Structure 1
Amino acid sequence: MSHLAPQAAIFSPSVARAAASTAKDWAYVDGWLRRQFTSSSTSTSSSSKSTPPPPSFERNPETLEVLLALIAANEEADEERDRLARLEASALDEVRAVEAGRRQNSSSSSNNDGDHDSSQTPNGLLLAEDLLTALDAGLSKEGQTALDALADVSLSLDAATDPSPSNLSHRFVELQGRMHEAEHLLHRVGLLQSYLADESARLSAFLEELRTAPQYQLRDGEEKSAEELERAVKTMASRLPELTRHVEALEKRVGIPPLTVEDLRHDEEAYLDLLARKKDLDAQVKAFAGLPPDVEAARVELEGLRAQLREATERRDANFEMLVERESPVKVRTSRRF
C-alpha cells in the first residue's frame, strides 16, 4: 500500500478489505509454517526445547499465492492419508475378526473330534490362507504396493498362472509387437482416410464444376430439345402398357409357337446352309453373265464364241510352230570324201 496516498488507504473501503484479507492470509500461512517447523524440529531432536523460527523470505502476492496453493495441496494429501489409514485400520479389524472366528471354529472342531484326531494334519486351505495373511502382514507398504502392481500386471498380461519374470517379459514383448502392428495399421488407416478425403474433395469439386461451369450448361435450343425428348419419353412410357397388351393379343391370335435355344440353333444351321448354296449358285450363274435372255440367240452367240475360240487356238498353234522353227538350229549337211 506504499503506492497509495495515506488518505486513500484510510478512506477506501475496497483497499481496506483487500488489506484485511491479505493480512488474514499471511497470518494463516505463518501459523502453518510455524506448525510445520515445530513438527519437524520435534521429530528430529526431541531433546531440544527451543523451536527454530521459519526462515525469512520476501512477502509479495506471488509468494502468498504459491504458499496458499502448497497449503491446500498439503491438506488434501493429509486428508487422503487419513482416509487410507482409516481404511487400513478397518480392514485390519475385519481380518483380525475373521482370523479370530476361524481359530475359534478350528478349536471347536478339534475339541469335538477327540483325541484320535489330534494327530491329523491341518487343512491345506486354512494353512495357505494363514501363510498368505502372515506374508501380507510382514510386508511393508512398499512391498504391498509392489505385490499389488505385480498382480495387476500378471492379470493384465493374462499370466496369472505363471507370473515369472521370463513369462512376463515374453508377454511384454508380444504386447509390444502387437502395439507396433496396431500402430502400423492405424497409420495405414490414416493414409487411406486421407486419400479418401482427398478423393471426396476432388469429386465434390468436379461435381460443383459440372453444375456451375458454362461449358456443361445446356443452350436454349438444346434445353428445348431435351424437354421435347423428355416429353416423348414420358408419352412412350405411358403408352408402353397399351403396346404390351397389343403384342400379347397378337401373339394369342397368331399363335406363335414357343421357341427354344435348340430350335434357334437348328434354324441358324439351316440358314447358313442356304447361304452357302446361294453362293455356289451365284458363282454358276455368273459364268453366263452377258448372254441374252432368248435361248436361240444365246445359242447363236455361244456358237460364234466357240468359232472365235477355234480360230484363236489355230492361230496360237501356227505361231507356236513358226517360233519353234525359227529358234531351232539349222543342221548343215557335209559330204564325205572317200
Structure 2
Amino acid sequence: MSHLPPNAAIFSPSVARAAASAAKDWSFIDTWLSKKFQGRKPPPFERNPDTLRALLAVANANEAADEERTLVAKLESDTLREIQQQQQHQREVENPADAARQAILTSLEENLSREGRTALESMASVSVNLGMAFATPADLGQRMVALAAQASELEQMQARVAVLSRYVENEVRSVQELAKELKGEQYRPASHLAKQNLEMQRKIKSIAAKLPELRDKVTALASSVGMPNPTVEQVRQEEQAYLDLLAQKKELDAQVKAFQGLPPDTDQARQELEALRTELRRVTQRRDAVFEGLVERETPKKPSRPQ
C-alpha cells in the first residue's frame, strides 16, 4: 500500500486483499533482513512494489540456497559418520586388541566421576593448547614448569621495560623543561646582535672583494723581490748562530746584573762605585782586625822563664 496516498480510503475487497498480502510480504522481508543483519538496522531503501518483488526473489533464492546447503552438510555428516563406523568396524576386525583397548577406554570414560571427567577434560584442553598429541602427566608438568619459568622471565623483562620507560619519561620531561627554559627571555639573543651580524657580513663581503687584489699584490711583490729558498744546511747554520747569540746574551745579562742599581749617569756611577770600594776596604780591615784578635786570644801563651 506504499503506492497509495496516506489519506486514501479502501473500498474494494480486492484492494484490501492485495494490501494484506503486501503487508504480510513486507513483514517476511523485515524478518529476513533482521536475521541477515543480526540485529543491525538495514540501510534505508524505498518501499514500493518493485522493491518488494526484488527482495522476495532474493529472499526465496537465499532460503533455497540455505536449504540446499543444509541438506549437503547433513549428507556429508551422515557419510562421514558411516565412513568412521566402517573404519572402526574394520579396525575391530583387523586388530581385536586395539578394539578391546578402545572399548575399555570408552567404558572408563563413560564411568568416570564428575571430578575425574573434569580432570580429564582439563588435561585434554591443556594438551590441545600446548600442541601435544600424546601428552602424559609428566610431559604436561614439564611444559607447565617451562611455561611458568618463561612467564617469570617475561615478568622480569616487563619490570625492566617499565623501569626503562620511567627513565625515558623522566629524561623526556627534563628535555622538555630544558627546552622551555631555553625558550625563555634569559636565553633570547640581544637586540643589537642582528645589527652587529649585518655589519660583520658587510665587512666580510668587503674584505672578500679585496682578496683578489691583495693576492695580485703579493704575487707581484714576490716576483719582484724574490722569495728565499733556504736549504736544510742553511737553516741549521742560522739556528746555531741564533743559539750562540742567546748564550752571549745570557753572559751579558749576568755582567749587566752586577751593575744593577747604579745611577744612569757615568760620574755618579763612578762616585758610587768608589764609595762602595771604600766601604769594602773598611769592612776588610775590620775583618782582619777581628781575625787577628781571635788568633791572639786562642793562641796559648808560653810560660816566662825565671831569671
Please classify the TM superposition score into its range, dividing by the shorter chain length: 0.3 to 0.5
Q: Please, what TM-score do these two structures have when normalized by structure 1?
A: 0.40
Q: Please, what TM-score do these two structures have when normalized by structure 2?
A: 0.43
Greater RCO, 1 or 2 (C-alpha within 8 Å, sep 6+): 2
